[in-house]
């Protein structure tokens, strides 16, 4: 959503941050079955925006309110675009997102070329609306096997040859440390 706001507003994207925060906090969240504001405070947010029937809108100035309503419409549309529905089926194969420890090089590669996913792993069952149980190898027995959909990436073609996970020691929090194999030059 913030990327869409930065693209939409260009160099003045920081001026729409309060609108983005307001829009996000008052938008319906599927996992909560309500907005974050309503979940936190137990009631819906009362705002002078969209109160077209009452005279209170005049207290804030019609131009300010109209501008804020327009900003919120744009940001809510960006929020809808950012909330893509991702779902998988049982027996699909997915890649699992891993997080390297900060400052550690991943597989002798730095930056964008370093792997961010391991797998593929087979989906055994769907747990709730946004969680899936994966079939993990014995080397990952210390990792809980249920993951949120945001940690998964669809595997379009299951390769016959898979890279071995034995050299990769994935911790319980899905981080790993890489150790050099040999020094090639000084």
User: What domain range is 165 assigned to?
Assistant: 87-178
Whole-number pLDDT of residue 133: 95
pLDDT in tens, 30-89: 766 788 888 788 888 877 655 444 444 444 567 777 777 787 777 777 777 666 667 899
Q: Which of 82, 111, 133 is the last residue of a domain?
A: 82
Question: Does residue 74 share a domain with residue 14?
Answer: yes
pLDDT in tens, 39-49: 788 888 877 65
Share of residues in the chain with pLDDT > 90 (%): 8
Q: Quick one: pLDDT band at residue 15, thresholds 50, 70, 90?
A: confident
Q: Which of 82, 102, 127 is the last residue of a domain?
A: 82
Calculate mean pLDDT across residues 137-161: 82
Would the pTM count as exceeding 0.85?
no
Question: Does residue 91 share a domain with residue 62?
Answer: no
Question: Does residue 121 share a domain with residue 164?
Answer: yes
Nearest to 116 by CA among 139, 144, 142, 150: 150
Q: Quick one: pLDDT band at residue 142, thresholds 50, 70, 90?
A: confident
Distant-in-sequence, close-in-space partners of 148: CB < 8 Å, separation ≥ 6 = 130, 131
Question: Does residue 77 share a domain with residue 20?
Answer: yes
Count the domains in the chain.
2
Whole-number pLDDT of residue 82: 64
Distance CA 174, CA 98 (A): 5
Calculate mean pLDDT across residues 103-107: 49
Structural domain includes residue 185? no
Question: Does residue 162 share a domain with residue 103?
Answer: yes
Structural domain includes residue 31? yes
What burial class does residue 175 get, using C-beta atoms within 10 Å of its C-beta: 0-12 exposed, 13-18 middle, 19+ buried? middle
């Amino acid at each position: 959503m913030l990327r869409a706001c930065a693209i939409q507003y260009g160099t003045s994207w920081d001026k729409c941050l309060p609108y983005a925060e307001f829009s996000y906090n008052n938008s319906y969240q599927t996992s909560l079955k309500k907005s974050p504001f309503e979940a936190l405070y137990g009631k819906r947010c009362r705002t002078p925006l969209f109160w077209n029937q009452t005279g209170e809108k005049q207290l804030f100035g019609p131009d300010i309110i109209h501008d804020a309503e327009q900003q919120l419409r744009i940001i809510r549309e960006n929020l809808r675009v950012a909330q893509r529905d991702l779902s998988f089926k049982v027996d699909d194969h997915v890649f699992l997102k891993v997080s390297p420890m900060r400052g550690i090089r991943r597989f002798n590669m730095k930056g964008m070329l370093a792997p961010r996913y391991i797998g593929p792993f087979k989906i055994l069952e769907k747990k709730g609306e946004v969680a899936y149980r994966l079939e993990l190898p014995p080397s990952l027995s210390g990792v809980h096997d249920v993951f949120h959909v945001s940690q998964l990436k669809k595997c379009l073609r299951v390769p016959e040859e898979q890279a071995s996970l034995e050299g990769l020691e994935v911790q319980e929090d899905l981080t790993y440390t890489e150790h050099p194999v040999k020094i090639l030059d000084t």
